[in-house]
């Protein structure tokens, strides 16, 4: 691998989710975000392939610590096709999380920038996300502005 001028970038490699990432701590990382039970290899593969079918319309990215081979950050974006905005597209960022041991190294910012760039490259007129009040300063640093209220209805 070519070394860049930035040693952090050499250590933390950002890329698309791969099926082998299940064995690199991907599920354990998601558990730092929300409820995420153990997933069987079969179930993981099935869901991976379901998402894969959407091609560039659903991108999950990860950052791997190349020293440890562990996934230390992730986030996803999917592209919604609309009729409004002259048949425009909107990117939806979901499930961004950085491992607690690697916070403060701008990995979250790299994830969000990667996902926003992907949405832009797919022709989206905007990219949106929902976050807690405490996380709004972080997303403001990533170029986002507060807009509306997220509302939820749980079925379980």
What residues make contact with a second copy under the rule CB under 8 A?
Answer: 26-27, 30, 33-37, 39, 43-44, 46-47, 50-51, 58, 60, 76, 78, 80-87, 90, 92, 94-95, 116, 119-120, 124-133, 136, 139-140, 142-156
In the complex with a second copy, which residue's Cβ is closer, 77 or 107? 77
Q: Which residue, 8 or 80, has its beta carbon nearer to a second copy? A: 80
3-state secondary structure of 125: coil
Burial (CB count <10 Å: 0-12, 13-18, 19+), residue 147: exposed
CB contact at 8 A, 122 and 82: no
* Burial 38-64, CB ≥16 within 10 A → b, else e: eeeeeebeeeeeebeeeeeebbbbbbb
- Residue closer to a second copy by CB (options 11, 122) is 122
Least separation in angstroms between CB 38 and a second copy: 9
Distances, alpha carbon 99 to alpha carbons 42, 75, 135, 151, in Å: 25, 12, 16, 27
Q: Minimum CB separation from a second copy for residue 107, in Å?
A: 19
What is the closest distance, in whole angstroms, from the C-beta atom of residue 46 to a second copy in the complex?
Answer: 8
Cβ proximity to a second copy, 11 vs 88, nearer residue: 88
When the beta carbons of 8 and 23 are compared against a second copy, the nearer one is 23
Query: In whole angstroms, what is the distance from residue 7 CA to residue 57 CA?
Result: 32
Question: What is the closest distance, in whole angstroms, from the C-beta atom of residue 24 to a second copy in the complex?
Answer: 13
What DSSP line would sit under 42-57, residue for residue? HHHHHHHHHHHTTGGG
Q: How far is the CB of 105 from a second copy (least distance, A)?
A: 22
């Amino acid at each position: 691998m070519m070394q860049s001028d930035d040693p952090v970038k050499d250590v933390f490699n950002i890329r698309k989710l791969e099926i082998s990432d299940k064995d690199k701590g991907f599920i354990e990382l998601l558990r730092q975000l929300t409820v995420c039970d153990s997933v069987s290899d079969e179930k993981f593969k099935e869901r991976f392939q379901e998402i894969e079918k959407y091609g560039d319309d659903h991108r999950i990215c990860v950052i791997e610590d190349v020293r440890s081979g562990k996934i230390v950050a992730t986030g996803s974006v999917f592209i919604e096709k609309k009729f409004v905005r002259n048949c425009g597209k909107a990117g939806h960022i979901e499930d961004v999380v950085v491992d607690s041991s690697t916070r403060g190294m701008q990995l979250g910012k790299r994830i969000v920038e990667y996902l926003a760039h992907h949405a832009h490259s797919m022709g989206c007129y905007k990219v949106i996300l929902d976050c807690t009040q405490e996380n709004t300063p972080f997303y403001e640093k990533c170029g986002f502005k507060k807009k509306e209220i997220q509302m939820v209805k749980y079925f379980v």
